[in-house]
Amino acid sequence: MKIAVIGSGYVGLVAGTCFAETGNQVLCVDKDPAKIEDLKAGRIPIYEPGLEELVRRNVAEERLSFTTDTDAAVKASTVVFIAVGTPPGDDGSSDLSMVLAVARAIGKAMDGYKVIVDKSTVPVGTARKVAEAIRSQTSHPFDVVSNPEFLKEGAAIDDFMKPDRVVIGCDDPRVAEIMKELYSPFVRTGKPLLAMDVASAEMTKYAANAMLAARISFMNEMALLCEKVGADVDAVRRGIGTDSRIGPAFLFPGVGYGGSCFPKDVKALLKTSEENGLELHTVRAAEAANERQKTVLFSKLKAHFKGDLKGRTVGVWGLAFKPRTDDMREAPSIVLVEALLAAGAKVRAADPEAMKEARKIFGDRITYCAKPYDAVDGVDALVLVTEWNEFRHPDFDRMKGLMKSPVLFDGRNIWAGRRLAAQGWTYHGIGVRE
């Protein structure tokens, strides 16, 4: 099948590359000439495990190509994916200006029937707006499909190639068959391909992310209560996660969710509910709980140092919002580092992939360390924010020799706090006895 993917960011690049991997001819489009030249040369602008190798292979085998020419890409394709950003506005609503601009450009370029697929995360009703934008520019026939993505950063290739499910929203059964054919290589193991109406498909993406965000916030609130009553949240997590009605996923306490999806999508869902005269109490509470959770590590640091962090040096392991990505958007580390700097502390930070992105946020206000042990040299305390595998089994004896004082704040509960305490460390976890 001949496919155009307009928008070569995270979602567009992953989708286009995976479609090419299954034998389709794919043209990925982006308006940034420098990005396109980098992609042609096999240089990937994002960190995603396995993506660079996949891009290079499919470019070499001439199934995947890159261009800035939207007009040519649309004319050469039967199915056109829209995969541009929908950044949040000040009021939490999704900014659809790029989506609708692309829709108009598609309409101008059309020379025959096309299937237009919304891959961007968009609120309910966007497919109708996309159709209106296209119709304003062309008399050629077309159909608009909602096909939300469910990719986890750090595992996007596996998520696309082996999805839990594929959601297709369209009003014409013939169009659904085209989409089913396109996705057939990815659902051969029996995973469901769910065809539904367009509005339900658009809603599914937001409902899924709001549910996951609520689970995270619920468990983080349980962690705070465990600290108050002397319970161990990890024991509680195991106790409830083995209930088949609940399950173990997304029950690990931590320092709050971040990234490009959960914060933005929760806000957009709340805005949609407001516009329809409905208050989503559970979703609102999940968002508020998450904002509070992002401050927990700083509160623990402040309490440990009796309210005075001025002149202290704090090591930070992990800056990306999660492991296996360089994404700093809405990262809990930002809240922590900014609070430390405002309190007069110095920060030494290490992250395997996010240092370049972190520099865009913090500039020269913190010290960037190429190696994790450099980040603990001379510090008054170490804070673990992101649970990279590289941080799971460090040499604690070596760390103790480098630090001014053996104080750990484990924001992900990945270290054995009781054993470390027996070895002379002061250990602070999330929702565990200290």
- pLDDT score recorded for residue 118: 97
Distance CA 410, CA 129 (A): 46
Measuring CA to CA, which residue among 335, 388, 345, 391 is closest to residue 366? Answer: 345
Residues labelled as active-site residues: 261
Q: What is the pLDDT of residues 5-17, one digit of tens each?
A: 999 999 999 999 9
Element housing 10 (H / E): helix 10-21
pLDDT per residue as tens digits for the range 203-214: 999 999 999 999
pLDDT band at 338 (very low <50, low <70, confident <90, very high): very high
| pLDDT value, residue 313 | 99
CATH class given for the domain over 294-428: alpha beta
Q: How many CB atoms lie within 10 A of CB 22?
A: 16
Write the class of the CATH domain 205-292. mainly alpha
Are 82 and 118 in contact, with CB atoms under 8 Å apart? Answer: yes
User: What is the per-residue pLDDT for 9?
Assistant: 92
What confidence tens digit (pLDDT) does each residue in 346-356 have? 999 999 999 99
Q: What is the pLDDT of residue 434?
A: 67
Pick the CATH number of 2-196 from 3.60.20.10, 3.40.50.300, 3.30.470.20, 3.40.50.720: 3.40.50.720
Tokens representing 83 are 């995969």
215 membership: H or E segment, kind and range: helix 198-229
Q: What's the average model confidence in pLDDT over 252-273?
A: 96
Q: What angle do CA 431, 152, 208 make, to 5 degrees?
A: 75
Mean pLDDT calculated for residue range 155-160 = 96
Which tokens belong to 151?
Answer: 């990719």
What are 48-84's pLDDT values in tens digits? 999 999 999 999 999 999 999 999 999 999 999 999 9
Ordered by start, the domain boundaries in the chain are: 2-196, 205-292, 294-428
pLDDT at 42 over 90: no
pTM for this prediction: 0.93
User: Percentage of the chain surpassing pLDDT 70?
Assistant: 100
**341: buried, middle or exposed (CB in 10 Å: 19+, 13-18, 0-12)?**
middle
Same fold, 2-196 and 294-428: yes
Q: How many CB atoms lie within 10 A of CB 135?
A: 14
Provide the pLDDT for residue 89: 87
> Residue 379 pLDDT > 90, yes or no?
yes
| Residue 314: band (very low, low, confident or very high) from pLDDT cuts 50, 70, 90 | very high
